[in-house]
Structure 1
Amino acid sequence: MRLLPIGMCQPGMRLGKSIYNEEGIVLLGRHVELTQPLLERLGRYGIDFLYIDDPRTEDVEVSDLLSDETRLQAMRTIRGNFRKVVEETTKRSSFQSFLGKEFGKLISMLIDDLSSSKAAMIMLTNMQLRDHYLYQHSLNVCIYSTMLGLYHGYSRDELAVLGLGAILHDVGKVHVPLDILRKPGKLTDDEFDSMKQHTDIGFKLLKDEPNIPLQAAHCAYQHHERINGSGYPRGLKGEDIHEYARWIGIADSYDAMTTSRVYRQAMLPHQALERLYAGSDSLYDQDKVEIFRDKIAIYPIGVTVKLNTGESGVVVDLNSTFPQRPIVRILQNETGEELTSPYEIDLSKKLNLVVTSVFDSKVQIEQ
């Protein structure tokens, strides 16, 4: 299979991976044949990329970090409990006990799945529906943060707190007006002030919750703080920001940049990583950005790339010690002609070759 922008997908192509709705239920199953109406509908939903079957890459499989059972449970837990927060906030006596129990069980499932994964950290393909960005974003940030915590060497108990803080970091947004959350243009100063209140709201919702550690509440409060003091809500600097919140701040920024929103298209992963580099040691801890850099595959398996030689192909495997230098199966020569005998290049062994672009528009898929 291979990953393509939806704008390059054509009727007659077949899905290489299923697409899930906001509850984690399959919306379109693997191998479904795409039609023009389906493509247009997916585009309206804000789905930017699709995994597509291709005979030349039929041996390429993209592993999921989570089992189907865990993913389904995660989306149901996030969706159900975030909605319940809205319903129960005014009835504090009945609100106090459900978040810790529900999310504690889920975080344990997530840690089990992520701990057993043998793959390098890969791009989470954001195929979620745009209207339900908050739910999928919360899960993505939790996955990224927990994976980073695993690589950093946190204990299971520490991972549980980090995971809780990550999955609930944006819970305060349930009380931000929808017309602000979904505004297609730039926010006014007053609207941005309203948006920033989600950190205070989230902290107040979580700080007295049974089974929610205070550190997790501080993750909701501090994930927009930056080490140079330019963040909010308090303008904290350096180590005054909780370490977990600094991890979550990186994951939150990266996922936001690589996800399509109503007001902008998603960045490609390497573009978002460059933004993190630019903020290294001013906005984010440099050592944490370096771990993120070393563990995320900015050219994930299945993505189409073009090399400085003019050749184009598909990433078919990763080098775990050098994820920025993947193995590429060359499908087109430097003039754009399809090769009858594709071959593979390991970029970790050919340092004179570099990726110059992603998703070359000339690439076609054999039907």
Structure 2
Amino acid sequence: MKTRWTRIDEVRTGSVNSEDIFDPYSFVLLVGKGTVIDSKTLQFLKKRNVTWVPVEEESDEIEKDLTLEAESAIAQSSQQMLVPDLPLILSDEKYHLSMDRFHDFASVILETGVANLTDIEDLSNDIVAEVIKTEHSILNFMTDIAPGFVVKHGINCAILAAAIGQRIKQPWHYLVQIVKVALLHDIGLIHATKEKSLFYVENVLKQFAVTPIDRVRAHPFLAVKLIERMNPTFLEPDVSRGIVHHHERFDGFGFPLGIQGKNINFFSRVLAVVDAYDTLITKVDGKSILDPYHALKWIIHNVKGIFDPDIVRAFIDISGLYPTGTIVRLNDGRIGSVISRGDRTIARPILSIEGKEVETENESGSYIVEVMGIDKMEKSRRVE
């Protein structure tokens, strides 16, 4: 089966919905994948201002060729950067320098438990300065974990968090604080995941951890304790709470305290979104859990459950509905990689097709009919 996006007035009753359909304004799930569409469903979708519906269509011989073409496009993108031929969200030099600086900081923390916090202060300000200068819709960054997950993840989350903060018009001081939270939120993992760590660290973990799982779940507390031991006044109260509560959920079912909704620290709510996105697209053994489109789709699906809708909306304003690196097929059969969201709408991205930049906003007859995701590629391999 393949997906054909069809105008809602042209959808026949009895068609099968091939993708989850979300409310275009609130991101609430309206109709689940695999639903047989009847007249009531169509009427309901029209009332919710849904104009296009993904329906299943029988595959043909062309489908196999298109799948192979898309697989080739994905293979070319499966390098260290999300899209190898695209500039990074920060300049290449600044990005790698930031990675090196944070790697040095984390290495010292691992070895001694004590590092120079001025390095984090300076790095946070430098990242904010760079993000403000960039085109935020081009979310191209590292997905491999070569320098270590905590390092790569910290830098990527810091960049994305700063971009969201700027999108919702936070002042410079707040942007720097958001970046600090993003950089340091998982710093406790470098000790918590070890069977035995430094004496001081073990004493901290004993307060929270009984089992190996408890040790990992205690990493937000450990991060704050490590920083406070170096300098008790370095973290402002909001930053400390941002780190400690970054695993809280919007519905109140997170940890450690089960805080709900807007009562969760603002920095934590921002971090929850960028933490999930970067983790989902991170390559482990050369493969990501999800491609960018399906990672964003998963986040949208969990709005009001895990994530703050306002933060997700700000992230979508930056990324578009088809984030950088998404492989898509147009209605005319062309396959390309998304390199940026469009200037006027989140649903019509800028693509790279055979080395040429294509603005789908300016091609009135062209539109996306399918996302050629990692899961689809894996399924096609198993079938063959």
Question: What's the offset of the Cα at 1:162?
Answer: 1.1
Corresponding position of 2:182: 166
Q: Give the fraction of aligned pairs with identical amino acids, expressed as a percent.
A: 21
SS of 1:280 mapped into structure 2: coil
Corresponding position of 1:35: none
Corresponding position of 2:98: 74
Question: What's the offset of the Cα at 1:218?
Answer: 1.8
The Cα offsets for residues 257-311 of structure 1, whole Å up to 9 and x where unpaired, read as: 1112369733111101111111111211111111111211454567542124433
C-alpha distance in structure 2 between counterparts of 1:233 and 1:248, whole Å: 15
Question: What's the offset of the Cα at 1:78?
Answer: 1.5
Corresponding position of 1:233: 256
Match of 1:8 among 75, 79, 91: 75
C-alpha distance in structure 2 between counterparts of 1:193 and 1:241, whole Å: 22
Question: What's the offset of the Cα at 1:351?
Answer: 7.6
Q: Structure 1 residues 193, 355: CA separation in 2 closer, same or farther (over 3 Å shift)?
A: farther
Match of 1:206 among 209, 213, 227: 227
Greater displacement, 132-141 / 194-203: 194-203
Question: What's the offset of the Cα at 1:327?
Answer: 3.4
Question: What's the offset of the Cα at 1:112?
Answer: 1.1
C-alpha distance in structure 2 between counterparts of 1:319 and 1:6, whole Å: 21
C-alpha distance in structure 2 between counterparts of 1:110 and 1:243, whole Å: 19
2:131 pairs with 1:114: yes
Paired residues, number: 291
Corresponding position of 2:360: 346
TM-score, normalising length: structure 2: 0.66
Question: What's the offset of the Cα at 1:132?
Answer: 1.0
Q: Structure 1 residues 160, 345: CA separation in 2 closer, same or farther (over 3 Å shift)?
A: closer
Corresponding position of 2:342: 319
C-alpha distance in structure 2 between counterparts of 1:108 and 1:342, whole Å: 36
State whether residues 228 and 234 of structure 2, in contact with CA within 8 Å, keep that contact through their aligned partners in structure 1: no
State whether residues 138 and 168 of structure 1, in contact with CA within 8 Å, keep that contact through their aligned partners in structure 2: yes
State whether residues 225 and 232 of structure 1, in contact with CA within 8 Å, keep that contact through their aligned partners in structure 2: yes
C-alpha distance in structure 1 between counterparts of 2:139 and 2:362, whole Å: 18
C-alpha distance in structure 2 between counterparts of 1:191 and 1:6, whole Å: 40
SS of 1:64 mapped into structure 2: coil
Match of 1:98 among 103, 108, 116: 116
Q: Structure 1 residues 263, 190: CA separation in 2 closer, same or farther (over 3 Å shift)?
A: farther
Q: 2:226 is aligned with what amino acid? A: L
State whether residues 318 and 326 of structure 1, in contact with CA within 8 Å, keep that contact through their aligned partners in structure 2: yes
Task: Specify every segment of 5 or more residues in structure 1 that has no aligned partner in the other structure, as ranges.
Answer: 10-15, 17-38, 53-61, 90-94, 181-188, 332-340, 362-367
Task: Specify every segment of 5 or more residues in structure 2 that has no aligned partner in the other structure, as ranges.
Answer: 1-69, 197-209, 378-384
State whether residues 50 and 127 of structure 1, in contact with CA within 8 Å, keep that contact through their aligned partners in structure 2: no
C-alpha distance in structure 1 between counterparts of 2:145 and 2:295, whole Å: 19
C-alpha distance in structure 2 between counterparts of 1:308 and 1:202, whole Å: 49
Corresponding position of 2:316: 293
Q: 2:123 is aligned with what amino acid? A: L
Question: What's the offset of the Cα at 1:111?
Answer: 1.1
Q: Structure 1 residues 349, 207: CA separation in 2 closer, same or farther (over 3 Å shift)?
A: farther
State whether residues 122 and 297 of structure 1, in contact with CA within 8 Å, keep that contact through their aligned partners in structure 2: no
The Cα offsets for residues 70-120 of structure 1, whole Å up to 9 and x where unpaired, read as: 22332222111112223333xxxxx3x722x11111111111111111352
TM-score, normalising length: structure 1: 0.68
State whether residues 248 and 255 of structure 2, in contact with CA within 8 Å, keep that contact through their aligned partners in structure 1: yes
Question: What's the offset of the Cα at 1:357?
Answer: 2.3
C-alpha distance in structure 2 between counterparts of 1:67 and 1:132, whole Å: 21
Match of 2:158 among 142, 145, 150: 142
Report the RMSD for the aligned CA atoms in angstroms.
3.5
**Larger C-alpha radius of gyration, 1 or 2?**
2
SS of 1:122 mapped into structure 2: coil
SS of 1:51 mapped into structure 2: coil
SS of 2:84 mapped into structure 1: strand
State whether residues 348 and 367 of structure 2, in contact with CA within 8 Å, keep that contact through their aligned partners in structure 1: no
Q: Structure 1 residues 247, 301: CA separation in 2 closer, same or farther (over 3 Å shift)?
A: closer
Question: What's the offset of the Cα at 1:154?
Answer: 0.8
5 Å-filtered alignment, 1:212-231, equals 212-231=235-254
State whether residues 292 and 326 of structure 2, in contact with CA within 8 Å, keep that contact through their aligned partners in structure 1: no
C-alpha distance in structure 2 between counterparts of 1:109 and 1:65, whole Å: 14
Greater displacement, 350-359 / 276-285: 350-359
Q: Structure 1 residues 227, 6: CA separation in 2 closer, same or farther (over 3 Å shift)?
A: same
Q: Structure 1 residues 313, 272: CA separation in 2 closer, same or farther (over 3 Å shift)?
A: closer
The Cα offsets for residues 157-201 of structure 1, whole Å up to 9 and x where unpaired, read as: 111111111111111101123589xxxxxxxx9443322111121
5 Å-filtered alignment, 1:38-53, equals 51=84
Corresponding position of 1:276: 299
C-alpha distance in structure 1 between counterparts of 2:81 and 2:89, whole Å: 20
Question: What's the offset of the Cα at 1:217?
Answer: 2.0
Corresponding position of 2:144: 127
Greater displacement, 163-172 / 72-81: 72-81
C-alpha distance in structure 2 between counterparts of 1:263 and 1:113, whole Å: 29
C-alpha distance in structure 2 between counterparts of 1:219 and 1:111, whole Å: 18
Question: What's the offset of the Cα at 1:127?
Answer: 3.5
C-alpha distance in structure 1 between counterparts of 2:322 and 2:177, whole Å: 30
SS of 2:329 mapped into structure 1: strand
